[in-house]
Amino acid sequence: MKQKEILLFGATGQIGRNLIRKLSKNNYKILAVTRNIHKAGYILKTQANPGYLELIELKNFQIDKIDSLIKKCPICINLIGILHENKKQNFKIIHSDLPNMLSMKANKHKIEKFIHLSALGIEKATDSKYAKSKLEGEKKINSNFKNSIIIKPSIVYSVDDNFTTNFMTLLSRLPLMPLYYNGMTKFSPIHVSDLVEIIIKIIEQKNQSLTLECLGPEELTFKEIIQKILLSINKKRLLLPLPLALASLSAKFFQLFPKPLLTEDQLRLLKYDNVRSGLYKTNLDLEIVAKKLFSDEIEKYSFNWRTGGQFAK
């Protein structure tokens, strides 16, 4: 069977790397767009067998080259996103302008599907620049191209993430952990392998003009997530609810770092639950069930942060 080509933006992130492995096993050829082909080659070349992955270097979103790539690929997937702004990247360009351009090109060439990664739980977060830029991107995509599929996952985690692994590092070093909004914000964390399975099913099914919330099998508060991480790394720490004024002050401090643990915009976003909204279909409506439980999965790699390592009790 002839390989179907898929154009992939955001290939080097945790979702992209896992998606490449699964796509190649399903006989898809992936054209992975990257800004640095040498760095991406080191990261991605082991993710697919020879002939299934082609790396394409693009600088500053060269529109003509993107146009020619979308023209030759029946499916385009955009996984590019940022959690905080810096001098080189801002929310508007990444979350709104880029999806707008890609979906316009998808419409121009009448491709089969344009799949875009957005985020769960952002509809009410009107005071967050991140959320507003994501929603603006969704609006433009739906306006531009009828065969667009927007996927909105809750927290995506795995050994390759920047969420559980960062908290394992912090909790292994700090004597206490601040809880923002009393740690009551709800999440529906989904393992990256479950999310990849959903994307594969979406590619193979005849879905059009779909917005899909992607949920894990559990709803957990932020406090429960931290408690489960602590249990997995065999640590006991003081969980300290932080008044909003102090939380804002800590966010101002953390966002000064190149890779901030927390920004003021993320603090505003934490006010809102990250669970099923009732506004859109979910993976359950498509009979795609995410099965992997948070505690079971983090147990597979949390030993790296335990005193004594893998065989410590």
Range of the domain at 148: 4-158+189-216+275-292
| Contact (Cβ atoms closer than 8 angstroms) between residue 123 and residue 211 | no
Could you tell me the two tokens for 153?
């996952």
Q: Is residue 303 part of a domain?
A: no
- Report the pLDDT value the prediction gives residue 312, as an integer from 0 to 100: 55
Could you tell me the two tokens for 194?
């479950």
Residues of the chain with pLDDT under 70: 1-2, 308-313
Q: Is residue 256 part of a domain?
A: no
Instruction: Report how far residue 73's alpha carbon sits from residue 52's, in angstroms, rounded to the nearest whole number.
Output: 14
Instruction: Report how far residue 259's alpha carbon sits from residue 181's, in angstroms, rounded to the nearest whole number.
Output: 23
Q: Is residue 227 part of a domain?
A: no
> pTM, whole model, 2 decimals?
0.94
Q: Is residue 78 part of a domain?
A: yes
* Neighbouring C-beta atoms of residue 73, cutoff 10 Å: 21
Q: Is residue 97 part of a domain?
A: yes
CATH number assigned to the domain comprising residue 130: 3.40.50.720
Residue written as tokens 């009828």? 146
Q: What is the pLDDT of residues 104-143, one digit of tens each?
A: 999 999 999 999 999 999 999 999 999 999 999 999 999 9
- Report the pLDDT value the prediction gives residue 1, as an integer from 0 to 100: 54
- Report the pLDDT value the prediction gives residue 195, as an integer from 0 to 100: 98
Residue 30's beta-bridge partner residues? 6, 53
Greatest alpha-carbon pair distance for the chain in Å reads 60
Which residues fall within 8 angstroms of residue 249, CB to CB, at 6 or more apart? none
Tally of domains within the chain: 1
| Contact (Cβ atoms closer than 8 angstroms) between residue 159 and residue 190 | no
Element (H, E) at 157: strand 156-157
Instruction: Report how far residue 202's alpha carbon sits from residue 212's, in angstroms, rounded to the nearest whole number.
Output: 10
Closest CA to 116 of 102, 129, 130: 102
Q: Is residue 170 part of a domain?
A: no
Calculate the alpha carbon distances from 165 to 105, 149, 156, 225, 265 in Å.
37, 30, 12, 12, 21
- Report the pLDDT value the prediction gives residue 197, as an integer from 0 to 100: 96
